Amino acid sequence: MNIQDALEIVSRTDPGMVRSHNEDSVASESSCGLVVLADGMGGYNAGEVASGIAVSVLATEVKHFLQDIKPEEPDAFSGEDTGVVLLRDNVQKANASIFHAAESQPQYSGMGTTIVSALFYDDRVAVAHVGDSRMYRLRSETFESITRDHSLLQEQIDSGIISKEDARTSKNKNLVTRAVGIDAEVEAEVHVHEVQVGDIYLLCSDGLNDMVEDDEIGDALQMLRANLSLAASELIQMANDNGGRDNISVIIVKINGKFSAPHGWVAKLLSWFKS
């Protein structure tokens, strides 16, 4: 199955109940199996500028590179999947664009953004993230986050200072330890996971997971898996019903079929004739 038929993608973004403008940005390129979500920060409209740059750089650049190279092939230098290298390099490119825009224009000074991006290829998904935007996976009954926030709270949880339960009432939420565009360089965390037919992936900004408990998010995806656009609007509705204190963005990706890359000599020959 080609990637476009194998994936069902729905994305939605909402300013929430409190904020006057939306600093989140989302994009999806179903033709190459790419989704990107960013949650910007900074005064005036700098937040949406930063998240907008990040999403457009990543979406355009990765799509452009994928015209010539295959994400499943190992990278000549690192031996990692080319898809991983593509995500990492282009998060860095987005970082440089935002950093330079902020340096040259005083009204954008200090702007930055979180990012979470997933590239699906060859029955795998490469996930890159910086900051506290998350990617969750629903696989049969199990709903869990497959990214780990770059935040003060997560560090405190990891080092045993605060329990996961106590973290809910912490007043140190919203402090990220890594962001795109703040410094000259940024290191995206990238992992590859195998993908199964029936999996549902959810990318979201903290406006969702700060307002709605993980269990409820998982239940909603499970119950509404037959209707992803309804699932997306219900999730946003739930966050808004609970106060909607931040912008809320969601991208839902459902795996409807296998999308393994052509292997073996017949496939290679065929693809050679095609190109």
Partner 1 sequence: MPAKLILSMDGVVLKEQVLNKERTLIGRKPHNDIVIDNLAVSSEHAAIITILNDSFLEDLDSTNGLTVNGTVTKKHFLQNGDLVEIGKYKLKYVNEQPAQSSPADFEKTMVLSRPVKMTPSEPSEATGKFNATPSAEISDETARLAPAAQVVSPVPQAAAVQILNGPNAGRELELVKSLTTLGKPGVQVAVLARRPHGFFITHVEGDKFPLLNGASIGEQPHQLNDHDIIELANVKMEFYFKA
Q: How many CB atoms are located within 10 Å of the residue 230 CB?
A: 14
Answer for which of 49, 179, 250, 253 binds partner 1 (CB under 8 A) is 179
Answer for which of 162, 191, 192, 257 binds partner 1 (CB under 8 A) is 162
Answer for which of 20, 104, 140, 275 binds partner 1 (CB under 8 A) is 20
Answer for which of 60, 78, 107, 227 binds partner 1 (CB under 8 A) is 227
- Cβ(82)–Cβ(71) below 8 Å: yes
Reduced to 3 states (helix: H, G, I; strand: E, B; else coil), residue 199 is coil
**159 is written with which tokens?**
């080092």
Binding mask 27-66 for partner 1 (x = CB under 8 A): ------------x-x-------------------------
Cα dihedral value 244, 245, 247, 248, nearest 10: -40
The dihedral sign for the CA sequence 134, 119, 64, 28:
negative
CA distance linking residue 144 with residue 158, whole number of Å: 17
Binding mask 93-132 for partner 1 (x = CB under 8 A): -----------------x-x-x----------------xx
Binding mask 75-94 for partner 1 (x = CB under 8 A): --------------------
Asked if 5 touches partner 1 (CB under 8 A), the answer is no
Q: How far is the CB of 77 from partner 1 (least distance, A)?
A: 28
Q: How far is the CB of 118 from partner 1 (least distance, A)?
A: 21
CB proximity list for 225: less than 8 A, separation 6 or greater: 138, 200, 231, 254
Asked if 239 touches partner 1 (CB under 8 A), the answer is no
List Cα–Cα distances, 200 to 19, 81, 143, in angstroms.
29, 22, 9
Binding-site size, partner 1 (CB under 8 A): 50
CB proximity list for 50: less than 8 A, separation 6 or greater: 38, 40, 41, 42, 98, 102, 108, 111, 112, 113, 180, 181
Chain residues binding partner 1 by CB under 8 A are 18-20, 39, 41, 110, 112, 114, 131-132, 152, 155-156, 158-163, 166, 169-179, 182, 206, 210, 216, 219-220, 223-224, 226-227, 230, 234, 237-238, 241-243, 245-246
